[in-house]
Amino acid sequence: MVIPGEAPFFSHTITDRAGTHERPSRILLVDDDAPLRRTLPHVLAQPGRRFEECGTVADAIARLEHNRYDLILLDYRLPDGTGLDVLDWLANAGRPEAVVMISGEDAIDAAIGALRRGADDYVRKPYHVAQLQRAVQNVLHKALLEQANGVMSQRLKSSERLHRYLVESSPDFIFTLNPSGVFNYVNPRVEAMLGYTREQLLGKAFTTLLLDDDAIRVDVLLREAARGKRIHQVLELRLRRCDPNTGQPGASTVTVTLNAVPIHGRGGDDNNAAPAGIYGVARDISERKRAEEIITFQAYHDQLTHLPNRILFKDRLELAIAQAQRRGGLLAVMFIDVDRFKRVNDTYGHSEGDRLLRVLAARLKETLRKGDTLARLGGDEFTVLLPDIAHPEDAETIAQKIHAALAAPFQLEHGDFHVTASIGIAVFPRDGDVAEQLTQHADIAMYQIKREGKNGFRFFDPDLNAHYRERIGLENDLRSALQRNEFSLCYQPQISMATGRLVGLEALLRWQHPTHGQIGPTAFIQVAEEVGLIREISHWVVDTATAQLADWHARGHAALRMSINLSSQDFDRDDTIDRVADCVARYGLAQDRFEVEITERVMMRDTADVIARIRRLRECGVGISIDDFGTGYSALAYLQKFPVSSLKIDRSFVNNLNGQGTQPIISAITGIARGFGLHLVAEGVERPEQARHLKDMGCDTMQGYLFSRPISADDVNRWLDAPPLPPGALSITPPPQQA
């Protein structure tokens, strides 16, 4: 029951420091009246209260030395002193226990003395039970409030210390501004980040740290915050570092993200109330920005030359096309390929090749205008964008400048190296109106220069595109020609004028294309070499030719000779040479019956590896025939180096037998053959008078349309089974079925 005007009774419990558990209130009764000590716990009993008792000052102090209490009910008169002695002990010990003094003294001085010494209340005997209960209740309630207040105060102090530590130790630049935007607090981070002392910034406007182009954006942000608006925008800007010489903001900057919010006063976060200031956090993102710049640069630039790469070139080309379309202007795309660059890597190593590319890129860049773009697509391929040209001839002028710039040799570690380049040019809108098309057409034009001998430039021609598409189709069909068994060999007969017999054959490759019909080697061998198919084709030719020759030998024509043509690339590796040697050994072909024809182009390479491979063929019994002998200026010099077994007089000499100087050349060739003991064949014989002149000059074996076109193996069988021509006969009638 609660009495009006009186404090209600509470169940007082004390919260521990963690604030999660409660413990009972401990009360110490100090009175020399034993019956009273036994009675009071019953009178004052409440849930959560525990009582202890003693009867002297000494006992009370002894208990206090070992225990703590929430309340002491202290009698004034005790056998060994007064309650004031206990109060004095509590005061000297700095103890927080609450005390209610109970006394029978009538003098007011006793009450005053007790309250001055720290008693929380004073109850005079005799007292009403309710009076004592109220006194105890009030004191315990007061103690509980004080305890809660003390805990809260301690927590606030701890929180303040923690927050101050966090702000002072933050890796971010934290500051506060007054409503005018002037610093009134900065944390120590400003010294490391911007080079200012705290004292240098206090009292200065925040805008003094900003660059002009950032000041407008920050001014808007600060004005919004000063009006109390909570800003959710985070700005990225640059803060000026302190110039150590002047102590003022300098040219050096730090890139930061800035977040600013208003500081509200007692009114709280009220949008209608003016804030007391602005709280700001600036985070240094300079390293992140540098990393982003590096990543962005690497994504759009070539790492070796630092030129734009394919992606950036395409972006710039598309932009230039859009601008040219709006203005009705022209632009050009150049595709540049360095000639013979592979030789640098193969001879001097890739580090020298990289060095050459860097120097080459610098030279190319010097030939261009300020607005032009030079890009490296990869390897030794470069592209150039020439925007805003007045005439297509402007691109030609740039191409000439590029060739002139490459005229001087490049200095490599192992000596000078002369560089040439093949350049293809496509012009917008004549040669295409999209980026991919212009680049492709420039590439096609460059490829045509490569085919024509390199070291030049040319504009794209629509006919080139058709040729290019045909070539791509040819290349795709060529890849599956072996699997589809589309290759075949035909044979050009070689006739001995002395005996009238068929003494030799030149095996010629043919491709029976499914749509284009029969195709000769001149139409596809170069393609096969470029796409890496020549090895498989050469192996097929070797296998087929040696097997066919072995069959004819087995049929009784052991003196029959056969020659095949190999690609110059076959002499760059051992596998095709091994294939020839293995086939000759497998079929047991006699010495020099199977020949490999080589051109002077192969001889002029004159490398130790090429000579070693040719010598290996000769050691295996394979003959070596020099095709088109006499057409090269150095042929005679190489006869002593290469173990040659046959010479072939080129058809150009045969066609021009009556030309000035031709007959002496043929006479010289026949003399050389006799002097070196070489077999001699004249090719391209088409008229009887040619055969007579050649025979008179000492050439016995001939091939050409006079005798037969290239024929199939079955037709060769008919030749072999037919009777020989009369000695000296110059024609056959009728010829066998032609292939």
Q: Which burial class, exposed, middle or buried, applies to 445 when counting CB atoms under 10 A from its CB (0-12, 13-18, 19+)?
A: buried
Say if 695 falls within a structural domain: yes
Name the pLDDT band for 710 (thresholds 50, 70, 90). Answer: very high
Name the pLDDT band for 230 (thresholds 50, 70, 90). Answer: low
Q: What is the pLDDT of residue 655?
A: 87
Last residue of a domain, one of 95, 128, 153: 153
Residue 652 sits in a domain whose CATH number is: 3.20.20.450
30 contacts: CB under 8 Å, gap ≥ 6: 53, 54, 55, 56, 57, 59, 60, 72, 73, 74, 75, 78, 83, 86
Percent of the chain surpassing pLDDT 90: 45
Q: For the segment 407-457, what is each residue's pLDDT rounded down to a tens digit?
A: 999 988 878 888 999 999 999 999 999 999 999 999 989 988 988 888 999
Q: Which residue has the higher pLDDT, 532 or 554?
A: 554
Q: Which residue has the higher pLDDT, 321 or 471?
A: 321
Q: What is the pLDDT of residue 201?
A: 92
Say if 675 falls within a structural domain: yes
Does 681 share its domain with 544?
Answer: yes
Say if 147 falls within a structural domain: yes
Does 602 share its domain with 709?
Answer: yes
Question: What is the average pLDDT score of the chain?
Answer: 85
Most confident of 418-422, 514-518, 608-612, 631-635: 418-422
Q: Is the dihedral of CA 458, 462, 468, 471 positive or negative?
A: negative
251 contacts: CB under 8 Å, gap ≥ 6: 240, 243
**In one letter, which amino acid is 579?**
R
Say if 164 falls within a structural domain: no
Does 633 share its domain with 681?
Answer: yes
pTM, rounded to two decimals: 0.55
Residue 111 reports pLDDT greater than 90: no
Residue 23 reports pLDDT greater than 70: no
Q: Which helix (H) or strand (E) holds 502?
A: strand 502-513
Residue 549 reports pLDDT greater than 80: yes
Name the pLDDT band for 636 (thresholds 50, 70, 90). Answer: low
Last residue of a domain, one of 233, 257, 287: 287
Name the pLDDT band for 726 (thresholds 50, 70, 90). Answer: low
Does 542 share its domain with 584?
Answer: yes
Q: Where would I find the H helices in 592-640? A: 600-605, 608-619, 635-638
Residue 414 sits in a domain whose CATH number is: 3.30.70.270
Say if 163 falls within a structural domain: no
Q: What domain range is 175 assigned to?
A: 170-287
Residue 88 sits in a domain whose CATH number is: 3.40.50.2300
Q: Which burial class, exposed, middle or buried, applies to 515 when counting CB atoms under 10 A from its CB (0-12, 13-18, 19+)?
A: exposed
Q: For the segment 568-607, what is each residue's pLDDT rounded down to a tens digit?
A: 888 888 899 999 999 999 999 999 999 999 877 777 666 7
Does 139 share its domain with 21?
Answer: yes
Structure tokens at 344: 């640098």
Q: Which burial class, exposed, middle or buried, applies to 554 when counting CB atoms under 10 A from its CB (0-12, 13-18, 19+)?
A: exposed
DSSP string, 374-426: EEEEETTEEEEEEEEESSHHHHHHHHHHHHHHTSSPEEETTEEE---EEEEEE
Instruction: Report the distance separating Cα 213 and Cα 207, nearest Å.
Output: 11
Q: What is the pLDDT of residue 722?
A: 80
Residue 195 sits in a domain whose CATH number is: 3.30.450.20
Beta-carbon count within 10 A of 143 CB: 19
Does 441 share its domain with 305?
Answer: yes
Q: What is the pLDDT of residue 402?
A: 95
Say if 514 falls within a structural domain: no
Q: For the segment 465-502, what is each residue's pLDDT rounded down to a tens digit?
A: 666 777 778 888 888 888 899 999 999 999 999 888 89
Does 20 share its domain with 100?
Answer: yes
Does 312 share its domain with 201?
Answer: no
Q: Into how many domains does the chain fold?
A: 4
Is 481:487 a contact under the CB 8 Å cutoff? Answer: yes
Does 339 share its domain with 425?
Answer: yes
If we measure between CA atoms, which residue out of 7, 40, 12, 8 comes closest to residue 26?
12
Does 103 share its domain with 236?
Answer: no
Does 652 share its domain with 587?
Answer: yes
Say if 388 falls within a structural domain: yes
Name the pLDDT band for 21 (thresholds 50, 70, 90). Answer: very low
Query: What are the two backbone dihedrals, phi and then psi, of residue 510, each rounded to the nearest 5 degrees?
Result: -130, 150
Q: What is the pLDDT of residue 22?
A: 55
DSSP letter for 70, please: S
Kindly report which listed range (11-20, 140-149, 234-243, 434-443) carries the lowest average pLDDT score. Answer: 11-20
Name the pLDDT band for 732 (thresholds 50, 70, 90). Answer: very low
Kindly report which listed range (41-45, 260-264, 415-419) carries the lowest average pLDDT score. Answer: 260-264
Q: What is the pLDDT of residue 427?
A: 95
Is 645:622 a contact under the CB 8 Å cutoff? Answer: no
Q: What is the pLDDT of residue 18?
A: 39
CA distances from residue 694 to 187, 203, 229, 656, 667 in whole angstroms, order as listed = 105, 111, 108, 12, 9
Instruction: Report the distance separating Cα 46 and Cα 71, nearest Å.
Output: 14
Say if 48 falls within a structural domain: yes
Q: 278 - beta bridge partners?
A: 177, 262
Beta-carbon count within 10 A of 176 CB: 17
Does 75 share its domain with 175?
Answer: no
